C-alpha cells in the first residue's frame, strides 16, 4: 500500500510539473503575442522645425509629426506618406493655430490616409502653386482645424487657388478660409474620368470682395471639360459669410453633388447648377437681408433638385432671383448653357424676395431653349415682390399646391394655410421644426473664433 501511495504521488507530481510547464509556456506565448502586438501598434512621434526635416523622414502608418510652434516663413511643406485606415499618419501643430505659415509657404498633401491639423496661413502669399493641394495620388486624407486668412499677393490679377482637391475621398473640415482678394476660385474640386467623393464640411468661408471679373467662386466642383462626369462631392454645414467674389458662390460643374444645410449670409451671388446633371441643393439658408444683388439658386442642366431651402429677403432679380430657372443654347458646347430638364423645386420657403421664381431666365438671341419638365410643388412664398416671372414659356410645366401670402394668386398657387410657424427667428414647417445648424454645431477651427454675426434684418 505504501508503495502504491508513493507511486500515485509520483504520478501526481509529474503531472503538476508537466501542467506547470505547459501553463508557463502558455503564459510565455501570451506575453510574446502581446509584445508582438505592442510592436505592431507602436508609433513614432517626430518633432520638426523645418520642411527639410519633414522631407528627411521615412514615415510609417501610425506615425505622428509635430510642427513646432512659431513662424514658418516661406516653407514648402510636402507631406508625402502612406498611412492606413486603422493607422493614419498625422501632421499637427504643436499648439493649434500657433504654427504660422507665412511668406511664400504652401502645403502639399500627397499620399493615403493622411491628416493635417492646426495650421495657420497668413502674412504672405503663394508664389505659383495653390496654397494647399491634395495631389492626384491622394486619397482618404484630411485637412482640418486650419485657417487661411488674407493670404494675397499685391497683384490682384494673379490667379491661384487657396485649396485644390484632386484625388479621391478627401475631406476639408472645420477650417476658416477668409479674405481672398485676388483672382482664382477659393476652393476647387478637380475632376477626371472617375468620381471623387470629396467632403467639404463645417468650414467658415469668410468675406470675399467682388472681383468684378469671372473666376471668383468660393467653391467650384468640376470644370467645363469634365462637366458631364460625376463627382459625388458633398458640401455640408458650412457658413458662407459675405462671399461676393463673383455671381456664383458655389459653381456646380459635374454630376451627383449635394449642397446640404449650409448658411449663405448676405452673399452677392447664387448657388449655381452651372454644368452637369443630377445634383441637389437642399435644406440651405440663403439670407439676403435686402442687400443689393444678393441671389438665390440658379438652375441649369438635367434632373436637378432644389428642396427644403429657406430664402430670406433675396434682393436679386432674373438670374439672381430666389429660384431662377435658365434658358439654354440650342446646341451647346460643354462650356455653354444646357437645357433645364426635369428639375424638381419643392418645399422651399421664400420670404420677402424681390422675385420668388423666374422661368426662362437669361433669354436672349442665343439662349432660346426654354426649360422642359419643371415641377414647382408644395413651396411656401411670403410677401414676394413678384411671385412668378416667365421670361419664356416652359414646356411640360407642373405648378401645384404652392402656398402664398401677400401676393395675388396664380394657377398652381393657393392661399397660405397654417403649416408654418416662426421658430428660432425663421419660418418653419410645424411638422419638421429644427434649430439652424450654426446655433448648435461647431463650424470652423476650435482654436479660432471668427467675428461672426448673423442677424436676419
3-state secondary structure the chain: CHHHHHHHHHHHHHHHHHHHHHHHHHHHHHHHHHHHHHHHHCCCEEEECCHHHHHCCCCCCCCEEEECCEEEECCEEEEEEECCCCCCEEEEECCCCCEEEEECCEEEEEEECEEEECEEEEEECCCCCCCEEECCCCECCEEECCEEECCCCCCCCCCCCCEEECCECCEEECCEEECCCCCCCCEEECCCCCCCCCEEECCEECCECCCCCCCCCCEEEECCCCCCCECCCEEECCEEECECCCCEEEEEECECCEEECCEEECCCCEEEEEECCCCEEECCEEECCCCCCCCCEEECCECCEEECCEEECCCCCHHHCCEEEECECCCCCCCCCCCCECCEEECCEEECCCEEEEEEECCCCCCCECCECCEEECCEEECCCEEEEECCCCECCEEECEEEECCCCCCCEEECCCCEEEECCEEEEHHHCCCCHHHCCCCCCCCCCCCCCCCCC
Position 440 scores a pLDDT of: 94
Position 109 scores a pLDDT of: 98
Instruction: Kindly state the cell numbers that stand for 275.
Output: 454644368
The mean pLDDT of 337-346, rounded to a whole number, is 98
Whether residue 425 is contained in a domain is answered as yes
Position 41 scores a pLDDT of: 52
Whether residue 448 is contained in a domain is answered as no
Report d(CA 206, CA 245) in Å as an integer: 11
Closest CA to 340 of 356, 316, 357: 357
The mean pLDDT of 346-374, rounded to a whole number, is 98
Report the relative pairing of strands 280-282 and 258-260 from DSSP bridges: parallel
Position 15 scores a pLDDT of: 43
pLDDT 10s digits, 242-269: 999 999 999 999 999 999 999 999 999 9
Whether residue 91 is contained in a domain is answered as no
Whether residue 49 is contained in a domain is answered as no
Whether residue 317 is contained in a domain is answered as yes
pLDDT 10s digits, 370-407: 999 999 999 999 999 999 999 999 999 999 999 999 99
Stronger pLDDT, 114 or 35, i.e. the higher one: 114
pLDDT 10s digits, 280-309: 999 999 999 999 999 999 999 999 999 999
Whether residue 298 is contained in a domain is answered as yes
CA distances from 298 to 22, 188, 252, 319, 343 (A): 76, 19, 10, 7, 11
Per cent of the chain over pLDDT 70 is: 91
Residue 69: pLDDT band by 50, 70, 90 thresholds?
A: very high
Position 12 scores a pLDDT of: 40
Burial 398-423 (b: 16+ CB within 10 A, else e): ebeebbbeebeeeebbeebeeebeee
Supply the mean pLDDT for the chain.
92
Position 43 scores a pLDDT of: 86
pLDDT 10s digits, 202-217: 999 999 999 988 899 9
Residues contacting residue 62 through CB under 8 Å, at least 6 positions apart: 41, 42, 43, 44, 83, 84, 87, 88, 89
Domain that holds residue 295: 152-439
Whether residue 10 is contained in a domain is answered as no
Position 26 scores a pLDDT of: 52
CATH of the domain at 179: 2.160.20.10
Report d(CA 428, CA 425) in Å as an integer: 9
The mean pLDDT of 329-348, rounded to a whole number, is 97
Please tell me the pTM assigned to this model. 0.91
- Total domains in the chain come to 1
Whether residue 252 is contained in a domain is answered as yes
Identify the weakest region by mean pLDDT among 32-46, 71-85, 104-118: 32-46
Position 42 scores a pLDDT of: 63
Amino acid at each position: 500500500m505504501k508503495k502504491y501511495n508513493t507511486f500515485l504521488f509520483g504520478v501526481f507530481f509529474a503531472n503538476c510539473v508537466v501542467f506547470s510547464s505547459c501553463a508557463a509556456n502558455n503564459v510565455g506565448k501570451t506575453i510574446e503575442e502581446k509584445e508582438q502586438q505592442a510592436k505592431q501598434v507602436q508609433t513614432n512621434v517626430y518633432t520638426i522645425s523645418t520642411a527639410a526635416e519633414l522631407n528627411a523622414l521615412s514615415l510609417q502608418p501610425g506615425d505622428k509629426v509635430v510642427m513646432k510652434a512659431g513662424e514658418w516663413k516661406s516653407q514648402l511643406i510636402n507631406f508625402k506618406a502612406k498611412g492606413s485606415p486603422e493607422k493614419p499618419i498625422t501632421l499637427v501643430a504643436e499648439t493649434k493655430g500657433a504654427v504660422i505659415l507665412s511668406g511664400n509657404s504652401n502645403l502639399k498633401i500627397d499620399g493615403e490616409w493622411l491628416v493635417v491639423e492646426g495650421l495657420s496661413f497668413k502674412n504672405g502669399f503663394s508664389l505659383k502653386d495653390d496654397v494647399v493641394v491634395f495631389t492626384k495620388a491622394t486619397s482618404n486624407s484630411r485637412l482640418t482645424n486650419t485657417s487661411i486668412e488674407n493670404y494675397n499677393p499685391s497683384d490682384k490679377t494673379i490667379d491661384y487657388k487657396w485649396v485644390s482637391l484632386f484625388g479621391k475621398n478627401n475631406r476639408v473640415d472645420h477650417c476658416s478660409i477668409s479674405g481672398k482678394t485676388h483672382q482664382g476660385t477659393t476652393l476647387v474640386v478637380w475632376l477626371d474620368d472617375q468620381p471623387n467623393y470629396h467632403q467639404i464640411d463645417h468650414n467658415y468661408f469668410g468675406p470675399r470682395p467682388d472681383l468684378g471679373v469671372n473666376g471668383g467662386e468660393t467653391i467650384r466642383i468640376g470644370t467645363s471639360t469634365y462637366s458631364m462626369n460625376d463627382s459625388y462631392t458633398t458640401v455640408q454645414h458650412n457658413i458662407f459669410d459675405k462671399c461676393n467674389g463673383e455671381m456664383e458662390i458655389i459653381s456646380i460643374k459635374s454630376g451627383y453633388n449635394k449642397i446640404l444645410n449650409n448658411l449663405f449670409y448676405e452673399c452677392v451671388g447664387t448657388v449655381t447648377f452651372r454644368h452637369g446633371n443630377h445634383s441637389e441643393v437642399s435644406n440651405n439658408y440663403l439670407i439676403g437681408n435686402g442687400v443689393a444683388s444678393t441671389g438665390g439658386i440658379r438652375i441649369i442642366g438635367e434632373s436637378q433638385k432644389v428642396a427644403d431651402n429657406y430664402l430670406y429677403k433675396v434682393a436679386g432679380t432674373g438670374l439672381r432671383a430666389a429660384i431662377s430657372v435658365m434658358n439654354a443654347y440650342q446646341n451647346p458646347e460643354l462650356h455653354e448653357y444646357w437645357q433645364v430638364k426635369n428639375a424638381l423645386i419643392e418645399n422651399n420657403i421664400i420670404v420677402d424676395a424681390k422675385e420668388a421664381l423666374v422661368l426662362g431666365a437669361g433669354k436672349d438671341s442665343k439662349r432660346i431653349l426654354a426649360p422642359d419638365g419643371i415641377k414647382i410643388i408644395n413651396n411656401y412664398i411670403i410677401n414676394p415682390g413678384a411671385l412668378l416671372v416667365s421670361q419664356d414659356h416652359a414646356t411640360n410645366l407642373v405648378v401645384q399646391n404652392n402656398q402664398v401670402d401677400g401676393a395675388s394668386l396664380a394657377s398652381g398657387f393657393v392661399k397660405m394655410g397654417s403649416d408654418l410657424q416662426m421658430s428660432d427667428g425663421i419660418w418653419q414647417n410645424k411638422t419638421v421644426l429644427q434649430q439652424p445648424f450654426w446655433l448648435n454645431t461647431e463650424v470652423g477651427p476650435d482654436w479660432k473664433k471668427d467675428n461672426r454675426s448673423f442677424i436676419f434684418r
